[in-house]
Chains A and B, each alone.
Chain A
Amino acid sequence: MAPVSQTLRNFLTKLHPDQVILLFEAQARRALRSSLRVKGRRTRLTVAVDATLLQLFGAFEQAEGLFDHVTPQGIQGYKLYVILEVASRQPLAFVLHEPGATRTAGEPKGDADYLAHLVAHVKTALGVDHLAYVLFDKGFWSQAAFQQLDTAAETLVTPGKQFKTIRAAIAAIRPDQWVRVAENQRVADVTVTFDNGLTLRLIGWKTLGRQVVRNERGNPKRDKEGTLLYRWRPIYHTYVTNIAPDEMEAPAVVGLYGQRWSIEDFFEQMDNQYCLGHFPSTDLAVVKVHIALTWLGYTLLREFQQLVADWLHNAEYATMELRRFARRFLRAPIAWLRWLKERQPGQRQPRLRQRSRDFVSSLANFGAPETKPELL
C-alpha cells in the first residue's frame, strides 16, 4: 500500500530544507555540466530571472499580502524568485521573499535585490566568472541593480519602463535614426544615461498599432452602436541593455529577450502540471522542501529523458514535451520497452504474453556479470 499524505508529510518534515536545496542545486549543476564547457572552453549561460506568486488559502508560515498584477487584485501567498537557464529550461536556484526583509540601510528589500542575490549565488554555485546574458522583466527595474550588474561585468537585457528618462530618450530620437526593418516596423539604436551616471544602450522598436480612444476621465470611448473606438498610432517597445552594438544588432537583442518567455512557460508547467503551489503543510521548512524536491524531480526527469533518448537512439525523446514523455515512459511495461529497443523495422507489436513467461525469460538472464549498473 502506498504511503498516504500524513506519512509523506511526516517524511518531508524530517528533511532539512537547506540540505535538500543543496541537493537540488548540485543536481542542477550536474545537469548543466555538459553545456558549461564546449570543446574545453568555458562557455557562458543565458539566464532569466522572474518572480511568481503562489496563492495560498490558510495560515501558512510567513505568507504575506501581495498584489497580483495579472489579475489585478490582492492575494495572500508566497513570492518566489527563480533563476532559470533558458536554453535547457533548467532552474538553477530560487529564493522566497521574506516579509519585512530589509537592506543594510534599513529600506525594504525590493525585487532588484533578489535579482542581484540570485545572480551572485548562481555564479558561486556553478563556479563561473560570468553568466552570459541576464534577462529579466520590468518588475526588476532598478538603476542601482543595473549599475551592480554592469560593474560585475554581466550582460543584461530588460524592457524599458515608461519612466521619464526613457520617455525623454525616445522623444529625442531623430526621424533619421529610425531604421525600417519591415512594413510599419522601425528600430532605433541609441543610448540612455540614467541619474546615477550609468549609460546603457536603448533599443526602441516602433510599430503601428491600434489603441483604444479614451475620454478625459480615462474611460474608453464608444460609438453609437456601443463598439469601442480605436485609432492607429505608433506603439513603442523599448529594451535596455549593455550589449555593445558591434556584438549584437538591435533585432538580435530583441530576439534574445524573447527567450525569456521560457521561464513563464516553466512557471505555468510547474504550477499546473506538477503542483508547485499545492503545499503539503503550512510549515515554511516543508514548503521549501516541497519546492526543492519538485524541481529536483523535474531536473531528474529531464536527465532521464536524455538517457531514454540515448538508450533508444531516438533524438525526438530528448526534445519531447516532458509531460508527453512521462505519459509514455513512466507507464511503459518492461516488455514494451524491451521490444522498442530490440525491434526490427516492420516488426509487428508483440501480443500480450503470460506473466510467467517474462519471469522465466528474466530467470535465464539472471546472474550475468554486470560491468556497470544497467539503468534500463
Chain B
Amino acid sequence: MTDVIATPIVPTAEARPALFPTLHLDTFKPLELCFGILLALATNRWRQRTFAPTHLREVIRALRYALQDDPFMDEIAHRCGAGVMRRELLLRVLISFWAHVLSVPIQEVCRWAETSATLSLAHALGLAQGYHPQRIAELHAALGPVLRQRLYAHCKEWLRRQLALERLGEEELTRAVAAQTFEPLALAMGRQYGFSYFINFLFWQGIFAGLEAALSQDLQPNGYSLRELVAAYFRRFDSQAATPEALAELLRNE
C-alpha cells in the first residue's frame, strides 16, 4: 500500500514554479521571497539583464522609486488620512515590507541608519536617521490585516516581475550554492562558528577535491556530503568539542 499525499490545488493560471511554491500567491511566505531575492542577486553575477542588481540595496532603492509613483500608494494614503506626508508614508511602507520579508524585527529596521554595517541599506530605504517603531504600528493599525497583506503582495509582485524570480530554477540554485556556500554570508546565515572557517580554508586548499579523487567508491547520493564527513572527522582538532575520550566514544558509537 502506498501513501497518497494530497497536494492542494493552487488556484492560479500560471505555471507553478518549482523552487518557490507560494511566491505567486498573495499569502506568500516571506522567507521564500527573501531567498528568491538573494538567489537572484547571486545569479545576476552571470546573467546581466536590463535590471540586474547584485546588491540588496539596489533592490531596496528600485522598489522605493517604483512605489513613489504607484497608484496603489494613493489607496494607502487615503486609508491613512491626510495627516501623513506622502514621503513619510512611503518610508513607513518600506520599513514594514522589508521587516516582513527579511523576518527581522521592525525596531531593528528602524535602527538601520545607526550602524555603519547597515547604513547603505538605510540610505536605499530613504532612512536618514533612527525611526520610531510606533509610526509603523500606526500604519499597520490604519491599514488593517487585509490591506496590509495586499500591500505586501503588491510589492512582492513588482519584485517578482523585475527580478524574474519565476525563471530561477534548479540550475541557478546549484550554481549559486556552489559559488556562495563558502562565502561569509552563507556562513553567517548558518550561524556557524570558527570551525567553519577552518573547513572553508580546507576547501580552498583543494583538500575536498583531493579526498574526492581518493574515493574508490562514490558516496551515497542520499547520504552525508563529503564536506559534512570531513568536517565531522576533523572535529577532533577542535579541542573543546571533542576531547580524546569524546572521540573514542564517537568512534565506538556510544
Contacts and interface: CB of A to CB of B under 8 A. Distances in A.
Contact of B210 (A23, A303, A376): A23
Contacts of B191: 355
A336 to B, nearest CB: 8
Interface string A8-41: 1101101110011001001100000000000000
A362 to B, nearest CB: 4
A14 B214 CA distance: 8
**A-B interface, 9 closest residue pairs, ranked by CB to CB distance from nearest:** A361-B117, A19-B214, A332-B194, A5-B253, A330-B238, A362-B188, A23-B210, A367-B54, A367-B55
A19 B244 contact: no
A224 interface: no
A280 B247 CA distance: 10
Given A363-B102, A364-B56, A3 B197 contact: no
B124 to A, nearest CB: 10
Contacts of B244: 272-275, 278
A23 B189 CA distance: 32
Given A27-B205, A27-B207, A272-B244, 10 more contacts: A3-B229, A7-B229, A9-B251, A11-B224, A11-B229, A19-B213, A275-B244, A330-B241, A361-B115, A362-B185
A248 interface: no
Nearest to B226: A11
Interface in A336-357: 337, 354-357
Interface in A125-162: none
B39 to A, nearest CB: 11
Given A326-B239, A364-B57, A374-B183, A6 B253 contact: yes
Nearest to A354: B108
B194 A337 contact: yes
Interface in B213-235: 213-217, 219, 223-224, 228-229, 232-235
19 contacts: A3-B232, A5-B250, A5-B251, A7-B223, A275-B248, A278-B248, A300-B207, A303-B201, A326-B238, A330-B241, A334-B193, A360-B102, A360-B112, A361-B115, A366-B38, A366-B55, A367-B54, A369-B54, A374-B184
B36 to A, nearest CB: 14
A200 interface: no
Q: How large is the interface on A (under 10, 10 to 19, 20 to 34, 35 or more residues)?
A: 35 or more
Interface of B: 38, 41-42, 45, 54-57, 102-105, 108, 112, 115, 117-121, 182-185, 187-189, 191-195, 197-198, 200-202, 204-205, 207, 210-211, 213-217, 219, 223-224, 228-229, 232-241, 244, 247-248, 250-253
A119 interface: no
A182 interface: no
A267 interface: no
Contact of A327 (B104, B219, B240): B240
A301 B202 CA distance: 9
A364 B240 contact: no
A27 B117 CA distance: 38
Contacts, number: 186
Contacts of A326: 237-239
A249 interface: no
Given A16-B216, A364-B56, A7 B194 contact: no
Interface of A: 2-9, 11-12, 14-16, 19-20, 23, 26-27, 272-275, 278, 280, 293, 296-298, 300-301, 303-304, 307, 323, 326-327, 329-334, 337, 354-370, 373-376
B104 to A, nearest CB: 5
B15 to A, nearest CB: 29
B215 A5 contact: no
Contacts of A16: 214-216
B233 A8 contact: yes
Contacts of A329: 194, 197-198
A369 to B, nearest CB: 8
B194 A360 contact: no
Contact of B239 (A12, A323, A373): A323
Contact of B214 (A9, A15, A273, A374): A15
Contacts of B236: 274-275
A331 B194 contact: yes
A301 B198 contact: yes
A15 B215 contact: yes
B184 A8 contact: no
B219 A373 contact: no
A55 to B, nearest CB: 14
B194 A307 contact: no
